[in-house]
Structure 1
C-alpha cells in the first residue's frame, strides 16, 4: 500500500508540472489570453479619432399636407408620431394688430375637417373649430370696417374674440377630457391667460399662399350699440 501511495503522489506532481509548463507555453504563444488587456495594448497608436465614433441619429421633422411628422431614432420612442398642430389660442384684438387681423386673414391657417383623421385628436379638433369660428367672425368685423371705422371694428373684433373663448371653454367643460388650463380661470384672468398663450398675438401672415375660405360657421351676433362711443 505504501508503494502505491508514493506512486500516486509522484504521478500527480508530474501532471501538475506538465500542466504548468503547458500554460506558460500557451501564454508565450498567445500573450493576450487569460489576462487583463490595457488600452495601450489595444491601441498602440493612441485612441481612435473622434470622427470614427458613431453618434445616435438626431431627430428631424418633415411637414406633410396634413400634419407634422416627427421622426427620431428607434431608441427614442419607436415609430414616427403624427402631430396635427393648431395655432391656438388667438391673441386679443388691439388697435396695434387690428389691421393685421383684417389684412392677413387669408394668410393664417384654417382647419377643414379633412385636416384631421376621422377618429381621435378631440382636443386639437376643438381648438381648430374655435380658431375657424373666430377667424370667420373677424372676417365679419373686417367687412364692416369699410363703414364702421376703426373704433367700432375693434369693438366687434374684441367681442368676437371673447365670445370664441367663452364658447370654446363651454364646449371643453361639457366633455370628460382634460380642460384647457385657461378655462379654469374666470373674468379678466381667463382672457389674459389666453392672450399670454397666443403663438401669434400680432396676427402676422404665416402662410405663403392664400388659404381657401371655409364654409361659414354661423352669423356672428354683433350689436354695434353695445360698444361705448
Structure 2
C-alpha cells in the first residue's frame, strides 16, 4: 500500500487567473446561483471524501509501521535467545544436597545423569562452564564411591563429598580473574544453604534415554567416617 499526502479538491469550473480581470465576476456573478451552489457543494463533498480517505490511508500506514516494528523487535529477541542457547552450555547447577529422600536416586540412577567430557565444550571461552562441568563429574564419581560404603554411612559420606566438591569449586572460582560464583562468598552454613537453593534437579532424576559417557578419572575421595 502506497501512502500519499492528501490532495486538494478538484475545481469543477475554470475561471480566469485571480490577477486577471473579471475574476470576481466569474465566481460571484457569471455562474447561476443554483449552479454555483451545486458546484460548491460537490467541491466540499469531494474535499471531505479526499480528506477522509487520506486519514484512513495515514492510519493504515501508521498501523503497518507499528506491526513491522513489533515484528522486528520480536525477531531480535528470538535471535538473541537462540544465540544464548547456543553459546551457554546447559549444565544443571548447583547439585542438591544429599538427603534421605534423594539418596536412592543418587546411588542407583547415576548413569542416567549428565557428564561433561572435554568434547562437550567449545574450544573458545566458557571456562566457567568447564568448572561447572568438572565439578559435576567429580561429584558423581565421589557419589559412586560413597554408595559402596555401609548403608548407615552412605548419607554421611555423600554429604561430605557434596561439601568437599563445592569447596574445591569455590577455590577454583577464586583462582580466576572473573567474579566468583555468588554462593562461594558465604561462609559455613550460609554457603551450603545458598548452594542448596534454586536447584535444577533436587531429586537427582535421570535424563530419559541418556547414558553417561566415560570421563577422565577423578581424584579419590577420602571419607571421614569419624565425622559422621
Q: Which TM-score applies when normalising by structure 2?
A: 0.68
Q: 1:27 to 1:217 in 2, by over 3 A?
A: farther
Residue in structure 1 matched with residue 122 of structure 2 by the alignment: 117
Q: 1:23 to 1:193 in 2, by over 3 A?
A: farther
SS in 2 for 1:134: helix
Gaps of at least 5 residues in structure 2 are 1-17, 31-35, 60-66
SS in 2 for 1:175: coil
Matched, 1:89 2:100: no
Query: In structure 1, which of residues 78, 89, 99 is the aligned counterpart of residue 104 of structure 2?
Result: 99
Larger radius of gyration: 2
Q: Distance in 2 between matches of 1:195 and 1:202?
A: 12
How far residue 9 of structure 1 moved from its aligned partner, in angstroms, is 6.7
Gaps of at least 5 residues in structure 1 are 1-6, 43-52, 58-71
Q: Distance in 1 between matches of 2:46 and 2:194?
A: 77
Residue in structure 1 matched with residue 75 of structure 2 by the alignment: 74
Q: Is the 8 A contact 1:27 1:33 kept in 2?
A: no
Over residues 8-44 of structure 1, what are the superposed CA-to-partner deviations in whole Å (9 max), with x where a residue is unaligned? 57444368779x99886566568631346788xx9xx
Bigger shift: 133-142 or 214-223?
214-223
SS in 1 for 2:138: helix
Q: 1:16 to 1:89 in 2, by over 3 A?
A: farther
Q: Distance in 2 between matches of 1:156 and 1:198?
A: 21
Residue in structure 1 matched with residue 221 of structure 2 by the alignment: 220
Residue in structure 2 matched with residue 34 of structure 1 by the alignment: 51
Residue in structure 1 matched with residue 10 of structure 2 by the alignment: none
Matched, 1:13 2:24: yes
Q: 1:97 to 1:24 in 2, by over 3 A?
A: same
Q: Larger strand proportion, structure 1 or 2?
A: 1
How far residue 96 of structure 1 moved from its aligned partner, in angstroms, is 2.5
Q: Which TM-score applies when normalising by structure 1?
A: 0.68
Q: 1:23 to 1:207 in 2, by over 3 A?
A: farther
SS in 2 for 1:78: helix
Over residues 54-85 of structure 1, what are the superposed CA-to-partner deviations in whole Å (9 max), with x where a residue is unaligned? 9x78xxxxxxxxxxxxxx94242535221311
TM-align CA RMSD:
3.5
How far residue 138 of structure 1 moved from its aligned partner, in angstroms, is 0.7
Query: In structure 2, which of residues 111, 132, 138 is the aligned counterpart of residue 133 of structure 1?
Result: 138
Q: Distance in 2 between matches of 1:73 and 1:182?
A: 34
